[in-house]
Amino acid sequence: MGTARRLAATLVVGALASSMGALWVRQAERADAVTDDPSLEGPVPTAPLATLAPPTTAPPAPVITDPRVTRAARPVRVPANPRQAEPLIELGTIEIPRIGLVHRVYEGISLTTIDQGPGHWPGTAFPGQVGNAVFAGHRVTHSRPFRNIDQLQPGDEVIFTIGGARTVYEMTGSEVVTPKALEIVNPTPTPTATLFACHPPGSARYRYVVRLALRGG
């Protein structure tokens, strides 16, 4: 084979190798792009998409087995004696990551109950249910669980674990009202919750109210 022919053959082989190399690089880049796609992480469905059950955002209903917890149709009246004796009934816990709170919650609005921790207002909804789940707590006495609820910002989580059901709410707003503004406990047509405590800290002149809406509700 002449020199010219050998040179031409070498150029052809080199071009072919370069072309194959570029093709391999492009294929590898596409493979990496697919591998790095976060939508492909996790288990692959084993059933056709049409038969998969749709996701649900409805939380499980709390199961309250304590017979002392009565399901009133409307919020009970404020007791004439704020320290009226009532049984101490633990319902579960409240968590507020923004202020580092994890605390037991109880059933009742007497100070004998709220002295132990946030109290659920009897006759209001339980967390996760349609209606307004209302909880009162102290800011400066006893374990002062609601000391920093004025630091909550829209979108902050408030998490209840009641009767084995975990429910996540988001803060939607706040207001300052007088102690006579009992409309804060009124039922709502959607799953909401309300936290309130005396305001400013150390005074009972006003009430600081935090409004919550069920996440995904």
pLDDT tens track for 113-136 = 999 999 999 999 999 999 999 999
pLDDT value at position 108?
A: 95
Give the confidence band of 150 by pLDDT, cuts at 50, 70, 90: very high
pLDDT value at position 25?
A: 36
> In the block, which residue shows the tokens 């004998």?
112
Looking at the chain, the whole-number percentage of residues with pLDDT higher than 70 is 72
Query: Considering only CA atoms, which of 139, 55, 146 is closest in space to residue 94?
Result: 146
| CATH of the structural domain 90-214, one choice from 1.10.260.40, 2.40.260.10, 2.60.120.260, 2.102.10.10 | 2.40.260.10
Give the confidence band of 66 by pLDDT, cuts at 50, 70, 90: confident
Task: Tell me the three state secondary structure of residue 192.
Answer: strand
> In the block, which residue shows the tokens 């976060």?
38
HEC sequence for 10-70 = HHHHHHHHHHHHHHHHHHHHHHHHHHCCHHHCCCCCCCCHHHCCCCCCCCCCCCCCCCCCC
DSSP letter at 55 equals P
Task: Answer whether residue 41 shows pLDDT above 80.
Answer: no
Task: Tell me the three state secondary structure of residue 188.
Answer: coil
pLDDT value at position 202?
A: 92
pLDDT value at position 73?
A: 74
Give the confidence band of 34 by pLDDT, cuts at 50, 70, 90: very low
> In the block, which residue shows the tokens 């002062």?
144
- CA atoms of 52 and 63, how far apart (whole Å): 28
Domain ranges of the chain: 3-39, 90-214
Task: Answer whether residue 32 shows pLDDT above 70.
Answer: no
Give the confidence band of 59 by pLDDT, cuts at 50, 70, 90: low
